[in-house]
Structure 1
């Protein structure tokens, strides 16, 4: 069986690589003999993080079309691929790739997609078009499902969990203290926030973009360390707590039942804090000050055991839901 996957892979973003690793984990459970082809921006980086996968350069159209020929299952996602905040052209590019995949693959499955925002009428039109043509639609949250319905998608939509919840951490024995995962964003001074957490270690999720956002904090550069996604998860699992803007740093914390402080710059961060019952650990990243951040850290630390128990229960439920798209695919190919 031949399976192909397209997402934001090969760009040095650990969150998106965790999505791919989670998808691969769930697929391997259902299709142990399948060949997985990844459409990526950097084949060497992808094979280093995901040994054993095949790759094709996503920017070379002829190579991509040739690679997709004879595909049984095309997996689209997850992550936030279909949004026009960063660029409307991104939506059009992914839509074109989805249309090509529709012609080349027997089945097309959207896997835990995060949809929106979709502000431009053309973005909404093309997303509706490719959604209607897919064989299966799964999204990672209720708001994504609602947005697809709002733009006119009439197909069945199932809400699952982010694929990263399907992963298991590799055991690490050395405690890693507090991990901080910040990013640059209009109106936010990440260096100021990093200065409010002395003694912490920076976990830059998107390399090299996030390196300078952490001021003078010592850095755990997973890329230079040659760490796998599961090894980074293991480091999060032995952390005292995580302070993060990056969504997947917070997802890693939730998966490992590690207490966190979430600095929100996007509704998806708010949604995760609410889903995990950690609303009191949520701060607006633009409004946050060193004082309010230190207060939130202290508040989370005060009842860390209860938070760990709450997050553990949440992670167990999400782990099962993250595998659900694999079950849908299995039904097609029994």
Structure 2
């Protein structure tokens, strides 16, 4: 039996990261049902209950060293762990886990990572060392390859694949319908979903989303539903936007599972997202999407499916957002079919992350 330890932003009730873990576990169990997996989590009990997998506390160095010592491979990922745009401290934390793995001579795989940006000479030198002392690296987009090249990380095998969530299978839409009915959303009328987040206490983008949501409500007779990807933080941002609107909206206020969120998105006519994995859920479920960028990972994902952001949180305008809403609305079926076709190729690439990990382990035995 092979042993894998997975390090990432797990246990913090961020729907995107929990979806990544769900997708990874789903693919690994398909490829090797006997594989033993332990997750480093900020809430081990939550991870054990939600995913049915072993977990250790992310700050318990002794427990982490114990599981790493027995492991055939440390998987660092997926996600944008190795960057210091959203947080400077988290970069050093995830590098610290890599250091513990090196300490007990456990091979490292950087798994479907979104690399960078990494600012600061010391941080970049550390990243170069850990990258070149990894056994295998996969990244989820071509721009991450460029970041690795700029960092002069060249020693391990490196391949561009896709975000792990893209390997997950579409789900049945009935669960989403039930949630909408419970929230008194009329499923016979058009639904525009919006996924927002707080960012640096900025307010401009909230004003723009509020105005555009009002326009869309009136122009398309649509219902606006805010869907939290990180609960309860995203609910706060949704309430602030709703308070700026003239028309009533629905704000979902639960910590939904990955399957429930995907089912909700599958019942929407359009998803407007700041959160990356709300957009990825839309891609998997065949729902037309519009992305507003706060981080290069949004631009990179949309680029991978031949789409562009409507703007970023600083420069987004009502006109630019409404232009995309009208375009996606009038050609919904075209975008739906195009996205589903693109997802097939990305699903193969996403699955290859796990295939490469298991192939590496088998070659070491």
RMSD, matched Cα: 1.9
1:272 deviation in Å? 2.0
1:179 aligns with 2:193: yes
1:242 aligns with 2:271: yes
Which residue does 2:181 correspond to in 1? none
1:196 aligns with 2:225: no
Instruction: Kindly name which structure, 1 or 2, has the bigger radius of gyration based on alpha carbons.
Output: 2
For residues 277-330 of structure 1, the C-alpha deviation after alignment (integer angstroms, 9 at most, x for no partner) is 223x62333222344433321221011111011100111111110011211122
1:6 deviation in Å? 0.4
Which residue does 2:182 correspond to in 1? none
Any unmatched runs of 5+ in structure 1? Answer: none
Aligned counterparts, 1:1-334, within 5 A: 1-50=2-51, 52-104=52-104, 106-155=106-155, 156-173=157-174, 174=177, 175=187, 177-186=191-200, 187-192=202-207, 193-194=209-210, 196-197=212-213, 198=217, 199-215=223-239, 216=242, 217-223=249-255, 227-279=256-308, 282-334=310-362
Which secondary structure does the structure 1 equivalent of 2:137 belong to? strand
Q: Is the 8 A contact 1:245 1:262 kept in 2?
A: yes
Q: Is the 8 A contact 1:40 1:57 kept in 2?
A: yes
TM superposition score normalised by structure 1: 0.92
Structure-2 change in CA distance of 1:188 and 1:286 (3 Å): farther
TM superposition score normalised by structure 2: 0.85
1:180 deviation in Å? 0.4
For 1:126 and 1:65, the matched residues in 2 are separated by 21
Moved over 4 A (4+): none
1:89 deviation in Å? 2.7
For residues 152-203 of structure 1, the C-alpha deviation after alignment (integer angstroms, 9 at most, x for no partner) is 1112310010000011232023358211001122444454214532421111
1:14 deviation in Å? 0.7
Paired residues, what number? Answer: 329
